[in-house]
A and B are shown apart, each in its own frame.
Chain A
Amino acid sequence: MRKINMRQAIIEALSEEMERDPKTVLFGEDVGKFGGVFGATKGLHDKFGERVFDTPIAETTIVGAAVGMALTGLRPIPELQFGDFVGIAFDEVYNKLGKWRWMHGGTMDMPVTLRLPIGIAGGSGPEHSQSPQALFMHGPGLHIVVPSTPYDAKGLLKTAIRNNDAVLFFEHKVLYDMKGEVPEEEYLIPLGKADVKREGSDVTILATALQVHTALKAAKTLAENGVEAEVVDLRSLAPLDKETILTSVRKTGRVVIVHEEPKTGGSGAEIAAQISEEAMFDLQAPIKRIGSPDVPIAQSIYLEQFYRPSEEQIVTTVNELMEY
């Protein structure tokens, strides 16, 4: 099968969906002729003209306008140049995007797909490196998608765009250049379904985005020493695929959750709580979380490495769990 990177997969998903539905509109800062600062909208302005437009630097308005467009028949796909900037549009995301339909009695649709680049990459500093997705697990009404491969990114983005609810679509910056197999023919991946990226019987590693790859590397190392790790790519934090998570946990009896978000209040906290509520007696060891330290991400490229979960950390943690 052909291999393309996640950037190309995203462009293909956007392009195919825009072709399919003339009501789709794509906008954000520099997404037009420049093709996006990460190149994830390259060529789309040439193809779709004014349906792909550059906005002023005004995140509040970008998301607010998307809400208004959605209510009146369009299918907006806004982009925030960096996911960190979601704080600027917090009211629009937290109080409007996920709640408008419900609080007005359920008669309106909210087909917004908000794309947000996340993650530590090359010394980008405390306001350009964060992974704020967990904040929105706390806000009802929002789908939260976090792909880890080009294949998943394409299939999930296409579904997200067709979905009539608000979707926050988080893309790890380091993954844009990562290649993977993507078929030529069309496919969709349902939202809210996790994917077992590697089967194993001794421990379950739950991960998202770049950490899926870190977990897969750790699993390989562990296997050399006879420990079989199952790597579950959550793909979606809301809704959370409890069935896949619990099935795996019941099989292995051990859980490590890995993410680049600060550990406190990260998505792992919620997932760990749900596992302990429903599968406490299937566990042979405590649930472990590997997250970033609870401090802002330093701009120094030397220091930033201490925020990103490493293969060694996963291996060590799994080995600790195996001792129980």
Chain B
Amino acid sequence: MAQIYKKDVDVSSYTKETLHDFYRTMIKIRKFDQHLIRLMQEGKVSGFYHSGIGSEGLSAGSIRNVLRDEDYIFYNHRGCNQKIAKGVPLSKLYGDFLGTTEGTTRGLGAGIVHSADVSRGVLGQAGTIGSQFNLAVGTAYSAKIQGTDRVTLCYFGDGAASREPLHGSLNWAGVYKLPVIYICENNEYAISCHHTETHSVKEHIADWAGGYGIANYVVDGNDTLLVNEVVKEAVERAKKGEGPTFIEAQTFRHRGHYEGDPYDYVPAEVLQDWKENRDPVKNFKKQLMENGICSEGEFADIDHAVEAEILEAIEVAEKAPLPDPKRIYEGLFS
């Protein structure tokens, strides 16, 4: 049975700088999202968008203060969160949504998936969810065989966890003791289906990893510092050659599966509870206030600075030209 990860995290074991950085990252993710939704409402962005509002703590906590640029991530389809935490420039992400040449795909358009930033270990993602499971054993194997201490983080949802390749991936990771960390962002729903409706094991998805002899934990995904602690331990394990870890982080999405989803399959009280009482940004802010790490004024300064950074990024992205139609023929082959 999966272990519920518990720890009395001493806020004072973190520097003020690190704590501010967590907060700044979370607020950046939230504002990025809100502005993107605005751009969609203005008709400037087409396609699907899967908002990451509600799981900022998980993304910030599993990446900031623990991963380096050279560590690899395969983000999930709510993964602007993770890309922002990994440091991908905001103008590049907006550029991908707006389809301008500022985007990481230089105008092909990318939505959430398909943006990549190799210099920061962001190796891309696929529209077919769960495609990352097998790729992650490849990058982890590669780190092992090349003798680097790079770790691979593989993010996916509770729904994607039912894809068959997860099992092949876990088996390899276990057999070869690969430096890969599976992060299941369990926000309970896969589009309209609750994870207990489509998973044979109802309690914890992390239990599956136990079946492959892989260390596994269930953690409150909205507790930023707790997430940071459990991932730090997993990274240590990976770097020491002790193999993979599976972390199931419990969270919830504040918005529908995609923009436009009526989101009526979730009971209103449940959603309200998560928004009011379990909002990761609100709760982290409270935690910092209570511990005297940050004052209202300092929060306001960070918020303003982030807002300005985002508006500037949008401007850069919007000002960049659309690609030449010939762009579609570039880059298929080297």
Q: Which residues of A contact B (CB under 8 A)?
A: 29-30, 32-34, 37, 54-58, 60-61, 84-85, 87-88, 122-128, 293, 295-296, 298-303, 306-307
Give the shortest distance, in Å, between B235 (CB) and chain A (any CB): 28
Give the shortest distance, in Å, between A60 (CB) and chain B (any CB): 5
Are B265 and A34 in contact (CB-based, < 8 A)?
yes
Give 1 or 0 for each of B292-334: 1 = CB within 8 Å of chain A CB.
0000000000000000000000000000001101011100100
Q: Is B65 an interface residue (CB 8 A)?
A: no
A124 nearest CB neighbor, chain B only: B47
Residues of B near A56 (CB, < 8 A) are: 159, 162, 198-199
Are B192 and A299 in contact (CB-based, < 8 A)?
no
Give the shortest distance, in Å, between B168 (CB) and chain A (any CB): 11
Q: Is B143 an interface residue (CB 8 A)?
A: no
Are B192 and A302 in contact (CB-based, < 8 A)?
no
Q: Which residues of B contact A (CB under 8 A)?
A: 46-48, 99, 105, 107-111, 113-114, 126-130, 159-160, 162-164, 190-193, 197-199, 265, 322-323, 325, 327-329, 332
Complex CA distance for A84 and B129, rounded to whole angstroms: 12
What are 29 A-B contacts with C-beta separation under 8 Å?
A: A29-B190, A29-B193, A30-B193, A32-B192, A33-B192, A37-B191, A55-B198, A56-B159, A56-B198, A56-B199, A58-B163, A58-B164, A122-B46, A122-B47, A123-B46, A123-B109, A125-B109, A125-B110, A127-B127, A296-B332, A298-B109, A299-B111, A300-B109, A301-B47, A301-B99, A302-B99, A303-B107, A303-B108, A306-B325
| Contact A299 B193, CB 8 Å, known A54-B198, A57-B129, A60-B164 | no
Could you count the A-B residue pairs with CB atoms below 8 Å apart for me: how many are there? 107
Are A302 and B322 in contact (CB-based, < 8 A)?
yes
Most buried by B among A56, A124, A293, A296: A56
Complex CA distance for A34 and B257, rounded to whole angstroms: 12
Residues of B near A128 (CB, < 8 A) are: 48, 127
Residues of B near A124 (CB, < 8 A) are: 47-48
Complex CA distance for A190 and B130, rounded to whole angstroms: 38
**CB within 8 A of A300: which of B99, B190, B193?**
B99
Are B198 and A299 in contact (CB-based, < 8 A)?
no
Residues of B near A84 (CB, < 8 A) are: 127-128
**CB within 8 A of A30: which of B107, B110, B162, B192?**
B192
Residues of A near B325 (CB, < 8 A) are: 303, 306
Are B130 and A298 in contact (CB-based, < 8 A)?
no
**CB within 8 A of A303: which of B109, B129, B199?**
B109
Are A125 and B47 in contact (CB-based, < 8 A)?
yes
Complex CA distance for A32 and B198, rounded to whole angstroms: 12
Complex CA distance for A58 and B107, rounded to whole angstroms: 32
Complex CA distance for A32 and B126, rounded to whole angstroms: 26
Complex CA distance for A61 and B164, rounded to whole angstroms: 8
| Contact A299 B110, CB 8 Å, known A56-B162, A60-B164, A128-B127 | yes
Since A56-B162, A126-B127 are in contact, a sample of 19 more A-B pairs with Cβ atoms closer than 8 Å, ordered by chain A residue number, is: A30-B193, A34-B193, A56-B198, A56-B199, A57-B198, A58-B162, A60-B164, A123-B111, A125-B47, A125-B110, A126-B114, A128-B127, A293-B329, A299-B105, A300-B108, A302-B322, A302-B323, A303-B107, A303-B328
B192 nearest CB neighbor, chain A only: A34
Most buried by A among B126, B191, B265: B191
Complex CA distance for A300 and B160, rounded to whole angstroms: 25
Q: Which 5 A-B pairs give the minimum distances between C-beta atoms?
A: A300-B109, A127-B127, A300-B99, A56-B162, A123-B46
Complex CA distance for A55 and B327, rounded to whole angstroms: 39
Residues of A near B111 (CB, < 8 A) are: 123, 125, 299
